[in-house]
Structure 1
C-alpha cells in the first residue's frame, strides 16, 4: 500500500496542494531548528519549504553540517507569501516542513521496555503548551526515554512541537492515563516530599510533575512510590515546570545517567 506521506514532493507546482493534503495527519515543523532536529533523529519528512533556500542551506552548513545533504534534497524554495500562508505564524528562519508522526504503538513499546537506561518524565495534567514543549526539549537533551502527559493537553500540538524545537523525534512522546504509565518506580515531585538531594534516582524511574497551578492529581499521588521535593528558599511558592524537570533530571544524571 502506498503511503502518500512517504514520498517527498517533487517541484513547487504541486507543493501547496500536497501540503494541505498532508497537514491534517502530519506534524508541523516550524523553523530551521525544528526541521534540523527532526531530520537528525530520523523523522520522515515528505515536504519542506524555505522562502530563501540558499540562506537555509548556509545556516545548515554553519550549524548542522551533518544534515545539510538531507536538507538540500528536501527543501523547496517558495515565494515568501506562499510560505507565510502555509504556517500559522512565520518563523524568523522562514523554513517549515511536515513530518510523519511516530506511531503510537512504537512509542508505547519504547516506553514499556524494561531495564531502561534513562527515566520517563510524566507531566500530570499540564496546562501550558510552551512549558510542555520546553520539557520535551529538556528530556531529549538528557536522553530521557520519553515524555508522557496525562489529561487533555496534546503533547503533539503545533505549539508544543514549536517549543520542543523538533526534539519530539528524539524521544518517545505520548499522552496516557495514569493507570497506563510505563513500568518503574514512580518518583513524584511534591512540596511535602523528601528532599531530592538525599535520594538516588534509578535509571528506570518514572519522574512525575504536577501542574504549576494545582500540583499532582489525587490519582497520580496515589500511584507514586516516593514523594520528593526540590530545594527552595522559604516564601518562594514554586519553580517553573521546565525548571523543576531540569533540576530533577540533572540530579538523576549525577548518579551516572547521560
Structure 2
C-alpha cells in the first residue's frame, strides 16, 4: 500500500487499547517477523519510527516488508511506551490473535504425526518455556504442551519464544489428556537415549526445573530415557535437554526432511 491509506494514529491507539486484554503481545521486530511468516492474525502494529522498522525489514526480513508496510502505524514515542512499558530495543510492537484452543488440540491429537510433541511437566520458569517453544518451532515439532499452572501464552513466554508460538501448536493440558503416542519421559535413571530411535509420533516429556517428573507423568510414561551427562553434574537446563532430545530425533531423518 506504500502508506496510501495509512490509519490515523489516534484511531490505531484506541484500537490497541480495545484489543490489548484479549490479544497476544508481540514485542519487537523478530517476534513480529516470525508471527507474520507463520500466518498470525495481526490487527495492529505500532512504532515511533516507521522508517527505521521498514529499513530493518528490508535488511533482515524482506519477505514481510510489504505486510509491515500495510500494518505499521507511527505514534509518539511516549504513547508507545505507555502502551508497552518494556518496549523492545527495535522499537516496534504488535497485537496478534491467539489461535483457538480447539485448533491447537486438533493439531496435537492428529495421527499419524510427522514430528513429536514436547510436554513440559509443571514448568516453573517462563523464560525456559519460551526458549523451548522456540526450539520446538525450529525443529518442526508438532507442538508444545505444558501441564500445571504456567500459562504457555503468558507475555514473558511469548517474548522468549520470539513469535514462534504461531509456528507450532502451544497449549496447556492435564496429564490425563495428553496427545496420543508413546510417551518418552526424560529421567536420569532411564535408558541412554543414544541407544534409542525416537518415533515421529512420540510424546517427549520433561520434568519441572525443581522436582523433575511428576508421579502422574511418570506413571503415564512408556519409556524412561536419559541424556548423556558427566558424573557429578546434576542436570541440564530445561531448554538444553529439549534441544538435545529433539536433535537426537532429527538425526535419524534424512537431510532436508521437514516435519
TM-score by length of 2: 0.95
Structure 1 residue 167 corresponds to structure 2 residue 164: yes
Structure 1 residue 124 corresponds to structure 2 residue 121: yes
Residue 39 of structure 1 corresponds to: 36
Structure 1 residue 181 corresponds to structure 2 residue 178: yes
Of the three residues 12, 26, 29, the one matched with 1:29 is 26
In 2, the alpha carbon distance for the partners of 1:168 and 1:188 equals 23
Residue 137 of structure 1 corresponds to: 134
Taking a change above 3 Å as real, the CA distance of residues 231 and 47 of structure 1, as seen in their structure-2 partners, is same
In 2, the alpha carbon distance for the partners of 1:66 and 1:250 equals 28
In 1, the alpha carbon distance for the partners of 2:213 and 2:53 equals 43
In 1, the alpha carbon distance for the partners of 2:205 and 2:193 equals 13
Of the three residues 233, 237, 246, the one matched with 1:236 is 233
TM-score by length of 1: 0.95
Residue 205 of structure 1 corresponds to: 202
What RMSD, in angstroms, separates the aligned Cα atoms of the two structures?
1.2
* Map 1:1-258 → 2, pairs under 5 A: 10-256=7-253, 258=258
- Contact persistence 1:9–1:15 (CA under 8 A): no
Structure 2 spans left out of the alignment, 5+ residues: none
Residue 3 of structure 1 corresponds to: none
In 2, the alpha carbon distance for the partners of 1:31 and 1:53 equals 13
- How big is each residue's C-alpha offset from its partner over 1:186-210, in whole Å with a ceiling of 9 and x where there is no partner? 0000000000100000000000000
In 2, the alpha carbon distance for the partners of 1:10 and 1:40 equals 23
Structure 1 spans left out of the alignment, 5+ residues: 1-7
Taking a change above 3 Å as real, the CA distance of residues 185 and 50 of structure 1, as seen in their structure-2 partners, is same
Higher alpha-carbon deviation: 10-19 or 104-113: 10-19
In 1, the alpha carbon distance for the partners of 2:93 and 2:190 equals 43
Higher alpha-carbon deviation: 10-19 or 62-71: 10-19
After the TM superposition, list the runs of 4 or more consecutive aligned residues in structure 1 that deviate by more than 4 angstroms. Answer: none
In 2, the alpha carbon distance for the partners of 1:49 and 1:119 equals 36
SS in structure 1 of the partner of residue 10 of structure 2? coil
